[in-house]
Chains A and B, each alone.
Chain A
């Protein structure tokens, strides 16, 4: 294995300073489920690895304050999926966290790591998009709050700047009743990378938010505020035109061996319809 310096700072400021000094040659280690594999296979060759697990201010956890949920970046998928606040307010995020990798991976992989890795297939990216999450980053210039839709660029690339470290994800607790769902397409039922990921959220005001991944360089958010999609009484033909518009930004790669573009695009529509039905049912059940 490539040799590198391993540092274990105890404060965010210290971590930011090391990260800033190292620039592209420094890599952050939280759960390590992506980084360690890349260190082993030689596709990542940092000179410094910064382990976040000793930073007191980055302890894992979920807390509610000021009408929003703040999830520490080091919170692992198992805990995100099990958290009662996440499950109550953001069921699609709990569902997504529960299908990342395998049990062993979910016990290590963190929400911050999943977001920063910026895989187009990242399971938690689509629920964070439909729930309008904010990424909180600490950097040499202080704290910056980045809307999740402005965060992803392409696989492995985000709008984080030199020296910036993601410390938390914030989710505004919906002011009105909502229903949400997360679905994915894989080649088998056992753990697998998804060839389509999709989350949907409908609310009592008739707004429908779709986010989908693995069908282009980054996950895509599409919003329908006409009220048509959220209304199960609207005839199928009227809905299908809007659905087509929602999925217009999908551009799956023809080079992938996991699924052909034609299949991904077709499944995007199948999954979209299924998830929308679940979300509407959830919304209706919640309003009873």
Chain B
């Protein structure tokens, strides 16, 4: 087994189960004696709860439990990954359309649904804020009780936090041309195909929780704290999710379902409908004002960026999204003077959370679009201005941070080549090119265990969640490569906190790098044991024994792993075990509490055609190129980028929440919230990689999977602008919006 499996694309581990429907998702699991749950919500954004009468609901056959805040320990437990501001159920006041006031559990789903409709809630609707303008009005009602924010100078406003960052001196900088515009990015939802689902079951003196969660170990901590149990008594099962995109990172209704299960003394199961999912997870909308200073020779002089993100009623991880997402807002360019002020603004809307791209797509849309305006103002080609300013490998483009960790100009040049930049355009068409950058993980802790069994097969224990990105396959490839087992002799165990060692989280495109290195370390530990074993068996100096890709090299010959393992383990058999630990500690001196482990870098180039009569935008060609260091599984890498690119077309062309005048979401569900279908794909979609094996992950890999989403909007916007010669600064670019822009220009 000396052939390399790294850099090949074997069939996805678990792939057949996914495509044949045999994979068991959380919503497929049936526990004996389980109660079905339904949330009770109010038909308004914000209300004072006066009273809740559950008697009619409890009188229905099969109804076992109606639980409200009054039934919980007082004060009602609160939780949250950043601030513990979110009560497990609404206390006294609902803060957004969909905020649950009660949970019903019954023998059947029908009974739970019927009972939920019979829970009588007397309430008084209160004024709500659900736009940036309303939330920032000095007279606006406060979303958060100032008592929750002691000593915070912003506590009397709806600004949760401000994130200033910068260098140089923007005010003193002098540029030949200054271009200033304001851009908006819509509120969108993750729309994972698998519904969010939660089951909790009393388990002796502890509890078992099944969840579609991305971070099982983090959830374990939340449940333990809410229930006052030791970690060892909380067992979280996290079957592979069917799409997460960040929306399944953090606890939502697991604490509530766990409390309901304990109160009922039986397992309780809650599966959210798509409509309820819209009311559980979303991306922050954003308004960004950008002032770009540029000299006539194309040199960027300054970027002055103010970004207001409309987060929801509770912090969730949203404020971290704002801080981390806005931090590289000036882009992958060497800009001498930069000032960024991002604010997270609370509102009476669904709590926003992590979503692929983590706050970067919002500012990227604005800053990259404004760069095009600057190029236009000085009469420079839009590709040229980017290459003129791009940071080269080793450049400290953010002065106090990790220098550029790739030669990114290669990526840009390749994308330009693939789109035919500069070649003649048919009428009605335009091209756009945009660059995206995102900071990778700033902290991390990934343990793993690898067991080389007596027959040479391997079990890998890794706490990553494989939600479709293919982590199982990549870890199996690493173990197969290092220990010489065929890929189908490797089993990867995930998603059970009682068995699998701790992993901090599955996010920020980290798993190949952090958990991948951890698995590699565990395998190398086994290789060291094999070296010792071979030296003993063949009476040679251990220093003369090498182990590489499953081959044991002795001074006079090569042996396979199994030829050493079997005699080495002896008659009783047994196994070799290796542990991995990859730790990236926080750095309190860094603005993000840690420099990124790597940057995700992508260049997207678009050719689009616009129907001037209807405003329809057709993506004729979509090119996405990412610097991935090294693709361990090229097919998975390419298709991850394709998926990200298409998801980016959603917020670019069609997706957005629509609210009514009192803050209720009008387009809950699939009928009036449209995501791209196979019919809406680019006519031609090209996904390529740049590979210089210069990443910190196994075999020179970098993290990837978000990059291809970062700059889709700016590239499409630029192509549309070139096609119609009218700038549009608000997303999505719906046919009606494009048509209206054309109409307004004609009447102007």
**A contact residues vs B (CB 8 Å cutoff):** 1, 42, 185, 187-193, 257-260, 263, 266-267, 270
A190 touches B678 (CB 8 A): yes
Distance to closest chain A CB from B652 (angstroms): 12
* B178 contacts partner chain A, Cβ-Cβ < 8 Å: no
Question: Nearest chain B CB to A122's CB is how many angstroms away?
Answer: 15
Rounded to whole angstroms, the CA-CA distance of A187 and B737 in the bound complex is 11
Question: CB-CB < 8 A to B671: which residues of A?
Answer: 193
B193: CB under 8 A from chain A?
A: no
* Candidates A187, A193, A257; contact of B735 at CB < 8 Å: A187
B101-142 interface with A by 8 A CB criterion: 110, 113, 117
CB distance from B144 to the nearest CB of A (A): 30
Q: Are A257 and B677 in contact (CB under 8 A)?
A: no
Say whether B81 faces chain A, with CB atoms less than 8 Å apart.
no
Is B393 an interface residue when CB atoms closer than 8 A count as contact?
no
Name the B residues within 8 Å of A185 (CB-CB).
614, 735
A188 and B739 contacting across the interface, CB-CB below 8 Å: no
Q: Provided the pairs A188-B680, A190-B677, A190-B678 are in contact, do residues A267 and B672 lie with their beta carbons within 8 angstroms? A: no
Extra contacts besides A187-B734, A190-B677, A257-B666 (10): CB < 8 Å: A187-B654, A187-B674, A188-B677, A190-B674, A190-B679, A257-B672, A259-B736, A260-B736, A266-B739, A266-B743
User: Taking A257-B666, A257-B667, A258-B672 as contacts, is the C-beta distance between A188 and B679 under 8 angstroms?
Assistant: yes
Interface of A: prevailing SS: loop
Whether A263 and B679, one on each chain, are in contact in the complex, defined by CB atoms closer than 8 angstroms, is no
Contact of B592 with A by CB under 8 A: no
Query: What are 8 A-B contacts defined by CB distance under 8 Å?
Result: A187-B654, A187-B674, A188-B679, A190-B676, A191-B679, A257-B672, A263-B736, A270-B614
Whole-angstrom distance between the alpha carbons of A260 and B739 in the complex? 12
| Minimum C-beta distance from A256 to chain B (A) | 10
Whole-angstrom CA separation of A266 from B679 in the bound complex: 25
A267 vs B654: C-alpha distance when bound (angstroms): 18
Complex: A122 Cα to B46 Cα, angstroms: 37
Contacts of A187 in B (CB 8 A): 654, 674, 734-735
**Contacting residues, chain B, for A270 (C-beta < 8 A):** 613-614
CA separation between A160 and B740, bound complex, in Å? 41
Within 8 A of A (CB), among B672-697: 672, 674, 676-680
Beyond A260-B736, A270-B614, is A1–B110 a contact (Cβ under 8 Å)?
yes
Q: Is the CB of B654 within 8 A of A188?
A: yes
**B117 contacts across to A, CB distance below 8 A:** 42
Q: How far is the CB of A97 from chain B (nearest CB, A)?
A: 18
**A267 and B677 contacting across the interface, CB-CB below 8 Å:** no
A245 to B736 alpha-carbon distance, docked (Å)? 24
CB distance from B76 to the nearest CB of A (A): 31
Q: Which residues of B contact A259 (CB under 8 A)?
A: 736
- How far apart sit A1 and B112, CA to CA, in the bound complex (Å)? 10
B658: Cβ under 8 A from any A Cβ? yes
Which A residues are in CB contact (< 8 Å) with B110?
Answer: 1
CA of A47 to CA of B591, assembled, Å? 64
A76 to B677 CA separation, bound complex (whole angstroms):
24
| Cα–Cα distance between A247 and B401 once the two chains are bound (Å) | 62
Q: Which residue of A lies closest to B735 (CB)?
A: A187
Interchain CB contact under 8 A, B679 and A189? yes
Name the residue among B676, B734, B736, B740 with the largest chain A CB count within 10 angstroms.
B736
Q: Nearest chain-B residue to A2 (Cβ)? A: B114
Give Cα A1 to B656, complex, Å.
30
Residues of B contacting A191 with CB < 8 Å? 677, 679
Residues of B within 8 A of A189 (CB): 677, 679-680
**Among A188, A189, A193, A266, which residue has the most Cβ atoms of chain B within 10 A?**
A188
Q: Which 10 A-B pairs have the closest CB atoms?
A: A190-B677, A190-B679, A189-B679, A263-B736, A270-B613, A257-B658, A189-B680, A188-B680, A188-B674, A187-B674
A6–B160 Cα distance when bound, in Å, is: 55
Q: A260-B736, A263-B736, A263-B739 are in contact. Are A192 and B667 (CB under 8 A)?
A: no
